């Protein structure tokens, strides 16, 4: 039996964002860039997620309370859980994230897991930057990463081609 999916699309300062949920948890949050999206009816989880995103962009929310469900490898899920521990307005490097996880030599693998994060904003992968202060990558686009960091009052990251 296929699980029921629900979704809601909203306009934000970084463009359209779609939240997708099961009956009990948020499973995907993506920035919609020129592409088809799967539309489903909203539910209580998508409504709560949409409300919290609006509050985040209004500057009144720093912590999300929507239940999330991770669907990835055990390593990816561990990285995503660690991302949730990065406080609002703070950044860490890929190397630092690895050290926190007891995997200091796994920066490249951690970068791969960060890049596959399915829960934009709710699992704050935008708060991970390179050790040299460069932005690194961002699946939703560097313009969105910069906008999210600036919204949180983060400064001091290096600008330049591809975050270098």
Domain spans, the chain:
6-58, 74-155
In CATH, 74-155 is 1.10.10.10: yes
More confident residue, 49 or 161: 49
19 pLDDT exceeds 50?
Answer: yes
pLDDT at 161: 47
pLDDT at 155: 84
Percent of the chain whose pLDDT exceeds 90: 80
Written out in words, the top-level CATH class of the domain with range 6-58 is alpha beta
Catalytic positions, please? 125
Instruction: Provide the CA 126 distance to its chain's centre, in angstroms.
Output: 6
> How confident is residue 163, by pLDDT bands cut at 50, 70 and 90?
very low
41 pLDDT exceeds 90?
Answer: yes
The rounded distance, in Å, linking the Cα atoms of 28 and 8 is 11
């Amino acid at each position: 039996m296929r699980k029921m999916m629900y979704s809601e699309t909203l306009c934000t300062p970084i463009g359209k964002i779609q939240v997708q949920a099961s009956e009990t948890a948020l499973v995907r949050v993506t920035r919609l860039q020129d592409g088809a999206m799967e539309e489903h009816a909203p539910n209580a989880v998508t409504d709560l997620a949409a409300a919290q995103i609006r509050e985040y962009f209004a500057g009144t929310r720093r912590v999300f309370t929507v239940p999330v469900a991770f669907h990835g490898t055990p390593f990816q899920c561990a990285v995503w859980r660690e991302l949730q521990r990065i406080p609002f307005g703070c950044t860490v490097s890929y190397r630092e994230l690895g050290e926190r996880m007891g995997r200091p030599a796994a920066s490249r693998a951690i970068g791969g897991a960060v890049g596959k994060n399915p829960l934009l904003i709710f699992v704050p992968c935008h708060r991970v930057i390179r050790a040299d202060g460069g932005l690194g990558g961002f699946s939703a686009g560097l313009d969105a990463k910069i906008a999210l960091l600036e919204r949180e009052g983060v400064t001091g990251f290096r600008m330049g081609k591809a975050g270098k």
